Amino acid sequence: MSYLMQADPEVAEAILMETRRQAGKLEMIASENFVSEAVLEAQGSVMTNKYAEGYPSSRYYGGCEYVDVVERLAIERSKILFGAEHVNVQPHAGVQANMAVYFTVLEPGDTILGMNLSHGGHLSHGSPASFSGRFYRGVFYGVDRKTETIDFDEVESLAKRHRPKIIVAGASSYPRRIDYEKFRTIADQVGALVLADIAHIGGLIAAGLHPSPVPNCEFVTMTTHKTLRGPRGGLIMCKQEFGPALDAKIFPGMQGGPLMHIIAAKAVALKEALTDDFRSYQAQIVKNAKTLADELLKAGFRLVSGGTDNHMLLIDLTALGITGKEAQETLDRTGITINKNQIPFDTKGSQVTSGIRIGTPAVTTRGMKEAEIKLIAGFITDVLMHIHDEHRLAGIREEVKSLCDRFPLYPERIRENR
Annotation marks residue 223 as catalytic: yes
303 vs 160: CA distance, rounded Å: 32
Closer by beta carbon to ligand DSN, 221 or else 305 = 221
What gap in Å lies between CA 379 and CA 401, rounded to an integer? 12
CB 18 within 8 A of CB 7: no
Q: Within 10 A of 70 (CB to CB), how many other CB atoms are there?
A: 24
Annotated catalytic residue within 232, 325, 333, 397: 232
Residue 341 binds ligand DSN, judged by CB under 6 A: no
> Strands (DSSP E) along 94-211, which ranges?
111-115, 137-141, 166-170, 193-197
- Residue whose CB is nearest to ligand DSN in the complex, by number: 31
Smallest gap, in angstroms, from Cβ of residue 357 to ligand DSN?
8
By CB under 6 A, tell whether 282 contacts ligand DSN: no
From 172, 337, 354, 360, residue interacting with ligand DSN (rule: CB under 6 A): 172
Residue from 27, 148, 151, 197 carrying the catalytic annotation: 197
> How do strand 234-238 and strand 219-223 relate by DSSP bridges?
antiparallel
Calpha distance 396→383 (Å, rounded): 8
What track of x and - describes contact with ligand DSN for positions 220 through 239 (by CB under 6 A)?
--------------------
Instruction: Enumerate helices (H) and strands (E) in the chain, giving the number of each.
Output: 17, 15
* Candidate list 19, 20, 50, 51, residue with the active-site label: 51
Q: Rounded to the nearest whole angstrom, what is the least distance from the CB of residue 93 to ligand DSN in the complex?
A: 8
Using CB under 6 A as the binding rule, whether residue 33 contacts ligand DSN is answered as no
Residues between 88 and 127 with contacts to ligand DSN, criterion CB under 6 A: 94, 122
Residue 197 annotated to the active site: yes
- Looking only at the bridges linking them, the beta strands covering 193-197 and 219-223 are parallel
Report the DSSP pairing between strands 336-337 and 219-223.
Answer: unpaired
Give dist(CA 23, CA 34) in Å, integer: 10
In the list 16, 22, 31, 265, the residue contacting ligand DSN (rule: CB under 6 A) is 31
CA–CA distance, 204 with 181 (Å, rounded to integer): 17
The yes-or-no answer on residue 165 being catalytic is no
The nearest distance, CB 354 to ligand DSN, in angstroms, is: 18
Q: Pick the closer one to ligand DSN by CB: 25 or 122.
A: 122
Q: Which is nearer to ligand DSN, 12 or 338 (CB)?
A: 338
- Closest separation between CB of residue 95 and ligand DSN, Å? 7
Quick one: 43 or 172, whose CB is closer to ligand DSN?
Answer: 172
Q: CB of 159 within 8 A of CB of 167? A: yes
Cα 58 from chain centroid?
31
53 is catalytic: yes
- Nearest C-alpha neighbor of 112 from the set 131, 94, 133: 133
Tell me how many residues contact ligand DSN (CB under 6 A). Answer: 4
Q: Which residues are catalytic?
A: 51, 53, 197, 223, 226, 232
Which parts of this chain interact with ligand DSN (CB under 6 A)? 31, 94, 122, 172
